[in-house]
């Protein structure tokens, strides 16, 4: 029987490009080769799409882009093509061959983090092409990426989140006044976040007005919309959600951050942040967190997979922080570790993620 053809997308024109490379290498290495043929499509920081036929080891370092066998690739939105248009720019007798081939695929695994990948853009293109893909659809991807939209939808559905306010780039001429009003309402310390970014990129903590204004300007480097949240004192806990019509949440894990908060360095650079699986919390509290995670997942119409992050306050209140629709898949990432604890080892997890993506498409 012919193997299922899986295209893995990685890289991307995003501030989280390097994290995607690490995640994709881990995914590619763990897709069962007895069942799947893997096609690698890399996207550079400038947005160029390239078919990459080389070794997986070169992906993490970024050396894949220098591979001479890379050729331009275009995801065709035409459903008849069901795949990628590959443009061969090799030279024969001093002339470009200009040879064009179509690589058909059965499913796409978009291992892309942040803008231009996790935000609904790729999902919309795949919807047009009528190609099944792993993970959340356009709406959930866009809503979860935009923190302001996620707050609005989840709070409407009765899920507790930090108090927040938004600041827009167009308000830059009145930034001091805007920040002062938000600080008076929410109180210090405050957290500043680009509305559309992940991996804690552009996130900072403000203890006073000067820090707040500086943090907002820093966040504007990554997005033209910024959210400012009250500081929640509590333990950082996470759960992995898996599935479509009947999703389930894994055990809850806990992060003890190496830094003041779990920022980019604490996640991917330093090695002294501690992940505890399962978290040392009462059984009833773990069940509550799992129930809220599934409720949020379904309310915002997630499917396939997501990692749901929470704060557990000293008084026992559970505050949802965010939903990551394509969580990190590096060797130290919480999602694969949580699923591994549940008995879904890496190759089995990849197999099931791909299987359910194909199965879901058949029911549409």
Report, as ranges of residue numbers, the positions in the chain whose pLDDT lies below 50.
Answer: 91, 262, 264, 268, 363-364
Q: Answer whether the bond into residue 210 is a cis peptide, omega within 30°.
A: no
Taking alpha carbons only, the member of 20, 60, 29, 15 closest to residue 326 is 20
For the four alpha carbons of 53, 57, 59 and 61, in that order, the dihedral sign comes to negative
Yes or no: domain 144-160+233-362 corresponds to CATH 3.30.470.20: yes
Q: Enter the DSSP assignment of 155.
A: H
Portions of the chain given CATH number 3.30.470.20: 144-160+233-362
Q: Is 11 helix (H, G, I), strand (E, B) or coil?
A: strand
Whole-angstrom CA distances from 351 to 32, 114, 138 are 7, 24, 22
Taking alpha carbons only, the member of 110, 103, 42 closest to residue 357 is 110
**Strand pairing category for 204-206 and 248-256:** unpaired
Q: Which fold has domain 164-230?
A: Dna Ligase; domain 1 (3.30.1490)
Choose which CATH entry (3.40.50.20, 3.30.1490.20, 2.60.40.1180, 3.30.300.130) describes domain 4-133.
Answer: 3.40.50.20
Portions of the chain given CATH number 3.30.1490.20: 164-230
- Tell me, what's the pLDDT at 3? 96
Q: For residue 72, which phi and psi values (nearest 5 degrees)?
A: -55, 140
- Tell me, what's the pLDDT at 262? 47
Do 288 and 298 contact (CB within 8 A), yes or no? no
Portions of the chain given CATH number 3.40.50.20: 4-133
Q: CB neighbours of 177 closer than 8 A, spacing ≥ 6?
A: none
- Tell me, what's the pLDDT at 274? 85
Distance CA 147, CA 183 (A): 19
- Tell me, what's the pLDDT at 148? 96
Could you tell me the two tokens for 56? Answer: 């997986």
- Tell me, what's the pLDDT at 364? 46
């Amino acid at each position: 029987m012919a193997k299922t053809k899986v295209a893995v997308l990685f890289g991307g024109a995003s501030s989280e490009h390097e994290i995607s490379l690490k995640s994709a290498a881990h995914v590619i290495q763990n897709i069962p080769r007895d069942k799947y043929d893997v096609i690698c499509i890399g996207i550079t920081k400038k947005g160029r799409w390239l078919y990459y036929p080389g070794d997986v080891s070169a992906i993490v370092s970024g050396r894949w882009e220098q591979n001479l066998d890379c050729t331009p690739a275009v995801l065709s939105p035409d459903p008849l093509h069901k795949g990628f248009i590959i443009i061969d720019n090799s030279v024969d007798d001093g002339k470009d061959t200009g040879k064009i081939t179509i690589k058909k695929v059965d499913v796409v695994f978009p291992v892309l983090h942040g803008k231009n990948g996790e935000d609904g853009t790729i999902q919309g293109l795949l919807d047009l092409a009528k190609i099944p893909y792993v993970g959340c659809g356009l709406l959930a991807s866009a809503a979860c990426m935009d923190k302001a939209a996620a707050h609005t939808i989840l709070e409407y559905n009765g899920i507790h989140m930090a108090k927040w306010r938004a600041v827009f780039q167009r308000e830059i001429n009145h930034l001091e006044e805007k920040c002062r009003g938000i600080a008076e309402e929410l109180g210090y310390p405050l957290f500043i976040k680009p509305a559309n970014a992940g991996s804690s990129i552009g996130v900072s903590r403000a203890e006073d007005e000067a820090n707040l204004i500086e943090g907002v300007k820093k966040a504007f480097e990554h997005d033209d919309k910024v959210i400012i949240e009250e500081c929640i004192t509590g333990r950082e806990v996470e759960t992995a959600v898996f599935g479509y019509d009947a999703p389930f949440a894994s055990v809850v894990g806990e992060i003890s951050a190496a830094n003041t908060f779990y920022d980019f360095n604490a996640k991917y650079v330093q090695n002294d942040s501690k992940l505890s699986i399962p978290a040392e919390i009462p059984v009833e509290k773990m069940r509550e967190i799992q129930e809220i995670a599934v409720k949020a997942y379904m309310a915002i119409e997630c499917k396939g997979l997501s990692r749901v992050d929470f704060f557990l306050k000293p008084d026992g209140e559970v505050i949802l922080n965010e939903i990551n629709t394509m969580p990190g898949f590096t060797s130290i990432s919480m999602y694969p570790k949580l699923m591994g604890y549940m008995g879904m080892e890496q190759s089995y997890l990849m197999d099931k993620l791909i299987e359910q993506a194909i199965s879901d498409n058949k029911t549409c």
